[in-house]
Amino acid sequence: MESKTKEMIFSLVLILAGVYITIEGFMIYARAASAPYFITEFTVSPGFVPVILGIALVFFSILHFITCIRDKDRKPGEVIKARFAEAAAWVNANKKNVDIAFTIGAVIIMGVYTYILMELLPFWAATVIFLLGIFFYLRADKWWKNILVAVLGVIAIVIVFQYCFNAALP
Amino acid sequence: MALEYIGTAFMTALQPFNLLVLILSTLVGLVMGVLPGLSATMAIALLTGLTYNFPTQTAIISLLAIYVGAISGGCQSAILLNIPGTPASAATALDGHPMALQGKGGLAIFIATTVSCIGTLLSVVFVLTLTPLLTSLALKFTSWEFFLLSIFGILICGTITAQASPVKGWISGILGLVVAMVGLDTVDTIARFSYGSVNLMSGIQLIPVMIGLFGFPEIVRAFKRHSDDQVTKASKFEMKKGFSLIFKNFGNVLRSACIGVGVGIIPGVGEDTGGWLSYWATRSLAPADEKDTFGKGNPKGIISTETGNNSCIGGAIIPVLSLAVPGSAPAAVLLAAFLMHGYRPGPLLMSESPDFLYNVCIYLVFASVAMWLVALVLSKLTVRLLGVNKKYLMPMVYALCVIGSYLINYNLFDVKVMFVFGLLGIVLTSMNFPAAPFLLGVILGPMLDSNLRRALRLSDGSFLPMFQRPICIFFLAFIILLILAQLGVFKVLKGKKLAD
């Protein structure tokens, strides 16, 4: 996908984010203006800076959006249509892209380690499982080497941090 | 008094345990610098949490040694592999790798390491002289100036890091500022963007954000890389020839050091810019017949780049100490580490902890000398180090990222934050949005918010006092001119004039 297309879509997301931040800023202002705070002056309210940031984000994202759709030979509407068509074609073409799927798989393993294994198991156990999982997934080397590196790696980490640095691991 | 502080710092650094930590930290920094994908920011961010249990001075020595080591280590892979270990050494590869191909890899590494050491040492002189000056200027700052300084920092960082499209850099900075708004606000303790979560109410910690933004994308990128890069072996150092070359080019060294320090002082602009600008200056000032030799193994290219990027270290520390505004991304982590270890950098530093400036300077001197020695020894092993299987290394690094994030508060929530910001880092990288302004936004957000609202509270909500202060007017004029210039307003006006 052309970088301008990616950036155009991203700038639309940013515009939405900016609108949300502005609205949330006003809601913070409304909360601060009521009991027990009674901060009614907008400029000193905790919602003031978020509102300004939201507006600035919308403004600069619109500027960026305009830059992405600027084309000497075509009208803006045509460019937007063409860019969305290009994005859709890219998604269709890359649905079965092995490289992308492979990377996403690795990120999912990292996510499982961070959000699930670390919550349920002690650090050493979670990390051994994670390292083994990702080494085998990435086909790092022979199976016995993967096991050896995972186990020795975790032992080294635990010795260095828990015993040398006296840090309590999760 | 200053001599007493210097003497005490000297004695502290010479303690056997501190010397051992200095050598080990330099080694860790160098190894992380040598390995492509592990940046100086990541090195300091990772090790900050680990130094939490160290005595304060030992921790500061360790962090500064890692900083110096990581910035300097990048040159070895740039020379031997043609892949800079850190972005700071990108320009080193231009002349360093051709030298290695010509069988002068050892000489190139020796020159790069020696001028890196000299660059850091020269920058210490600037830290010693400029920090007190800037601190006394900063004492005249009121809330209005600090508010404008934050905006100025983010704008200039965004402009320089997102060269082709400054708007992207500014958007990145705004996103960082929004992240800084999460949690209880510092003036009225009202929860913002917290959604009832107790963890979010205490705000987003800087270190997990930093590890996520800078480390995570590099780890993930390594998973899909199928690298078959050839590592060139390092030849003999040829120390005599190296020293003679450096001596002959000492003017180049001094100029590059000044450029590096100047770039380092600018908020958020890192060592890579310092290296490139120094390289560009040397190439531009070279005689016409010599210009063509740059990029083909001219040692002057290495000398300027490595002096420039290493002198950025001192430059970046100057605003950290005097204004509490980091000069580069690694310096931002260093600022967080200083705060974590009980120091409060900023205008009051010279009155609250006058010894700290001298400690930092002496530790930097020790770190640069240690780096020179360790780097030359390490260079013999670099070829092996660069051969480490990334598919083993990067998951291990991720486990270290998890520990680094966790140890800040001993809270698993910070690890999850690191992961989320890692994904955001991937998105920003793939959209060509620079991460440095984002980080600067997270750092400067509280300063911007609290100072603006404090100033407005004192003026009953009026912005008028801002326009009545000379320093504010300077900042305002600069900010407006910068935005207008970057948006091309002046070009349009010029074009209209010409058309008329």
Q: Is there a domain that residue A14 lies in?
A: yes
Residue A28 has pLDDT above 90, yes or no: yes
For chain B of 500 residues, list the mean pLDDT of each consecutive stretch of 10. 87 92 91 75 76 84 92 84 74 85 87 93 92 83 88 83 83 94 89 91 85 81 62 70 89 92 78 82 85 85 91 91 84 84 83 88 94 88 73 86 81 92 91 85 88 90 90 91 85 74
Report how far apart the first and last C-alpha atoms of chain B are (Å, whole number): 65
CB B325 within 8 A of CB B203: no
Give Cα separations from B104 to B107, B165, B237, B283, B394 (angstroms): 5, 39, 8, 21, 31
To the nearest 5 percent, what fractions of chain A are helix, strand and coil?
80, 0, 20
For residues A82 and A156, state if they share a domain.
no
Same domain, A124 and A140: yes
Q: Are residues A80 and A106 in the same domain?
A: no
Domain check: are A106 and A128 in the same one? yes
In a domain, A134, yes or no: yes
Domain boundary (A70, A93, A116) is at: A93
Neighbours of B402 (CB within 10 A): 28
Candidate from A39, A57, A149 with C-beta closest to B171: A57
> Is B496 a member of any domain?
no
Beta bridge partners of B183: B192
Is residue A81 one of the residues assigned to a domain?
yes
Residue B53 lies in a domain: yes
pLDDT of residue A73: 79
Domain enclosing residue A140, as ranges: 98-164
Beta bridge partners of B411: none
Q: Is A111 in the same domain as A50? A: no
Number of domains in chain A: 2
To the nearest whole Å, the CA of B363 is away from the closest chain A CA by: 21
CB B356 within 8 A of CB B349: yes
Residues A157 and A135 in one domain: yes
Residue B222, domain member (yes or no): yes
Look at residue A151 and tell me whether its pLDDT is greater than 80: yes
Tokens of A66: 């305009």
Say if A170 falls within a structural domain. Answer: no
Decide if A169 is inside a domain: no
Provide the 8-state DSSP code for B232.
Answer: P
What residue of B is the nearest CA neighbor of A147? Answer: B392
* B423 found inside a domain: yes
Residue A78 confidence (pLDDT): 82
Q: Which domain holds residue B487?
A: 2-491
Domain-located, residue B342: yes
Residues A10 and A88 in one domain: yes
Residues A112, A142: one domain? Answer: yes
Residue A45 distance to chain B (closest CA, Å): 8
Read out DSSP for A69-124?
A: H--SSS-HHHHHHHHHHHHHHHHHHTTT-HHHHHHHHHHHHHHHIIIIIHHHS-HH
CA distance B388 to B381: 12
Task: Give the pLDDT confidence of A42-94 residue by residue, as tens digits.
Answer: 988 999 999 999 999 999 999 999 988 888 778 878 888 888 888 888 888 77
Q: Which residues of B touch A7 (CB under 8 A)?
A: 431-432
Question: Is residue B498 in some structural domain?
Answer: no
As a whole number, mean pLDDT of residues A124-140 equals 92
Q: A55 in contact with B at a CB cutoff of 8 Å?
A: no
Asked, for residue B500, whether it belongs to a domain, the answer is no
Q: Which residues of A touch B402 (CB under 8 A)?
A: 113-114, 118, 127
- State how far residue A115 is from chain B, nearest Cα, in angstroms: 7
Q: Which of A40, A59, A93 is the last residue of a domain?
A: A93
Q: What is the model's pLDDT at position B435?
A: 84
Domain-embedded: residue A128: yes
Tokens at B309, concatenated: 């990027």
- Shared-domain flag, residues A56 and A133: no
Query: What are the helix (H) ranges across B16-142?
Result: 16-34, 40-50, 56-81, 90-101, 105-138
Which residues of chain A from 86 to 115 reach within 8 Å of chain B, CB to CB? 99, 102-103, 106-107, 110-111, 113-115
Dig out the tokens for A48 from the structure: 């003031």
Q: What pLDDT is attached to residue A4?
A: 81
In a domain, A115, yes or no: yes
More confident residue, B5 or A98: B5
Question: What is the distance between the alpha carbons of residues B9 and B27, in angstroms, rounded to a whole number?
Answer: 22
| Minimum-distance CB partner of A64 among B168, B190, B448 | B168
Asked if B119 and B260 touch (Cβ cutoff 8 Å), the reply is yes
State the best of A43, A118, A128, A166 to mutate against chain B, taking most chain B CBs within 10 Å: A43
Q: What is the mean pLDDT of chain A?
A: 88
Per the structure, the count of domains in chain B is 1
Question: Which of A73, A93, A113 is the C-terminal boundary of a domain?
Answer: A93
| A35 and A72 share one domain | yes
User: Do both A20 and A78 map to the same domain?
Assistant: yes
One domain, residues A14 and A81: yes
